[in-house]
Amino acid sequence: MSGPAERPPLSAVLEAVLLVTDEPVPASALAQLAEADPVDVDRMLDALARGYREQDRGFELRLVAGGWRLYTRADCAGHVERFLVDGQSARLTQAALETLAVIAYRQPVTRSRVSAVRGVNVDGVVRTLQARGLVTGAGQDPGSAGTLYRTTPMFLERLGLRSLDELPPLAPLLPELSELAELAEADDASLSP
């Protein structure tokens, strides 16, 4: 006759759950699942992340988009890419990246507003971004009744961000007003007969 089953160590429970999840799991959810004190779970997650780095593992534990998830190490990316079947990690087109950037920085935003910023129709691109789980509907614009779009937690996860506050500022990437005025003058001059 065997006695009651022993509980696995907290580290084992956390690793087992994190191994099978495909999205970040908040520490509070892990604590509830493991029936453990949230403070102990936070400490263990930090210890696991540090331990994986110190042991030079092929994976790392990161806090992104409000939760914890295991990732392959960046310097192992080439090997992982060769392993994956072609098409499994399809990259976004330039149009999709530009559209995603407009949505990320202006959210919630309508497709017509994104089209106005980009200067082209973005209907198909937005559908692609939705299909990939990077953007989602966020209600309707009261003025136009158009669907509003915002980025998803998967967007944060893919970029390795904890929140939208970690997006880089746009100001250093934009041209100075004097440069814009010069470009406008040059365009006007080229249109004159």
Which residues, listed in sequence order, are joined to residue 72 by a DSSP beta bridge?
A: 59
pLDDT at 144: 84
Pairing of strands 67-72, 135-140: unpaired
Percent of the chain past pLDDT 70, that is, above it, reads: 82
Does 178 reside within a domain? no
User: What's the domain count of the chain?
Assistant: 2
The pLDDT of residue 88: 43
Average pLDDT, the chain: 84
Residue 63 pairs with which residues in a beta bridge?
68
- The CA-based dihedral angle spanning residues 184, 186, 190, 193, taken in that order and rounded to the nearest 10 degrees: 90
More confident residue, 167 or 135: 135
Asked if the structure places residue 4 within a domain, the reply is no
- Judgement on whether residues 158 and 98 belong to the same structural domain of the protein: yes
For residue 117, count other CB atoms closer than 10 A to its CB. Answer: 17
Clarify whether residues 115 and 58 are in a common domain.
no
87 within a domain of the structure (yes/no): no
Do 110 and 53 sit in the same domain of this protein? Answer: no
CA-only gyration radius of the chain, Å: 23
CATH number, domain at 136? 1.10.10.10
At 87 the pLDDT is 43
| Residue 183 domain flag | no
Q: Can you read off the two tokens belonging to residue 98? A: 């530009």
Write out the residue range of the structural domain in which residue 50 sits.
Answer: 10-77
Asked whether the predicted pLDDT for residue 179 surpasses 60, the reply is no
* pLDDT of 24 above 80: yes
pLDDT one-digit tens code per residue, 39-58: 999 999 999 999 999 999 99
pLDDT per position as a tens digit, 73-91: 989 888 777 765 444 446 7
The verdict on residue 190 lying in a domain is no
Instruction: State whether 111 and 142 are in the same domain.
Output: yes
**Domain membership flag for residue 188:** no
Residue 190 has a pLDDT of 55
Q: Is residue 82 part of a domain?
A: no
Alpha-carbon distance 78 to 76, whole Å?
Answer: 6
Instruction: Decide if 191 is inside a domain.
Output: no
